[in-house]
Structure 1
Amino acid sequence: MSIELDHVIVPTRNKLVSAKLLAELLGVPWAPTSLGPFAPVFVSDGLTLDFMDTEEDFPIYHFCFRVSQQDFDAILGRIQAAGIAYRSSVRGPMDGQINTDYGGSMIYWNEPDGHQWEMLTVSYARQ
């Protein structure tokens, strides 16, 4: 049996703002009103991020997207055009640099509620 991650619920203060922003940056579709309490972002054919409003405290999540170099360049261009600060390390200052330590390209940025997004072209977890 093959096990695949289907969806993750992402807590947020404003599901529509957060989902729309991520979908636009990644260049993927989203549905602002289709699934009850969720604003889903269809990251790929097999993964959906379901943004859900909450007033409760929630931890900051970290999500990493592995993309092609061509997609990396396009997404980075959208991040830059939106004026979103990004960094080259998981922690540290927003240095606007690209990390190339693992033979590819990698950056990190945060969404309005603090969740951390990572984008890379070569996985350091699965070489």
Structure 2
Amino acid sequence: MTISLNHTIVHCTDKAASSRHLVEILDLPEPTTYGPFVVVQIDNDVSLDYADDHGTPHPQHYAFLVDDDSFEPIRQRIVARGLTYWADPFHRVEGEINTNDGGKGLYWLDPDGHSMEIITVPYGGG
């Protein structure tokens, strides 16, 4: 049996703005729509389906595995937007990247406070 993640719903206050934030930072294809969702397609056939929440969204964590060549351009787009980034999930080490498991990683917040992460090596060095 094969099981794989197909999509997840990201609750936000403005699905157009939040999805645009992600596609611009990660340099992803333009989002599409499906029913009430704005859909951001990720390279491994998983999508983040943005949905306007009726209230304040509860911040979640989303991690993206990126290749080494993509890491620095993504970091530069974060900096160009004036966003703060951190080396750690607790946001204690500001403006630095981590080198966990021999790779690189960082965290930033999207417009609704969701913690977004990019890493170049899966946890455990996989």
Normalization by structure 1: what TM-score?
A: 0.91
> Aligned equivalents of 2:86 and 2:124: distance in 1?
19
Matching residue of 1:11: 11
Residue 110 of structure 1 pairs with residue 109 of structure 2: yes
CA contact (8 A) 1:9 1:50 kept: yes
CA contact (8 A) 1:87 1:97 kept: yes
Q: Which amino acid aligns with 2:115?
A: Q
> Aligned equivalents of 1:104 and 1:115: distance in 2?
23
> Aligned equivalents of 2:93 and 2:85: distance in 1?
5
Residue ranges of structure 1 left out of the alignment (5+ in a row)? none
Normalization by structure 2: what TM-score?
A: 0.91
> Aligned equivalents of 1:72 and 1:49: distance in 2?
20
Matching residue of 2:70: 71
C-alpha spacing 1:94/1:16, structure 2 compared with 1 (3 Å): farther
CA contact (8 A) 2:23 2:31 kept: no
CA contact (8 A) 2:13 2:56 kept: no
CA contact (8 A) 1:88 1:106 kept: yes
Q: Which amino acid aligns with 2:21?
A: L
Q: Percent identity?
A: 36
Secondary structure at 1:90 match in 2: coil
Secondary structure at 2:21 match in 1: helix
* Structure 2 counterparts to residues 42-81 of structure 1, below 5 A: 42-81=41-80
Matching residue of 1:88: 87
How far residue 77 of structure 1 moved from its aligned partner, in angstroms, is 1.4
Q: Work out the number of aligned pairs and report it.
A: 126
Runs of 4+ in 1 over 3 A off after TM superposition: none
Q: Which amino acid aligns with 2:41?
A: F
CA contact (8 A) 1:30 1:39 kept: no
Secondary structure at 1:10 match in 2: strand
C-alpha spacing 1:83/1:94, structure 2 compared with 1 (3 Å): farther
CA contact (8 A) 1:85 1:94 kept: no
Q: Which amino acid aligns with 1:115?
A: H
How far residue 73 of structure 1 moved from its aligned partner, in angstroms, is 1.3
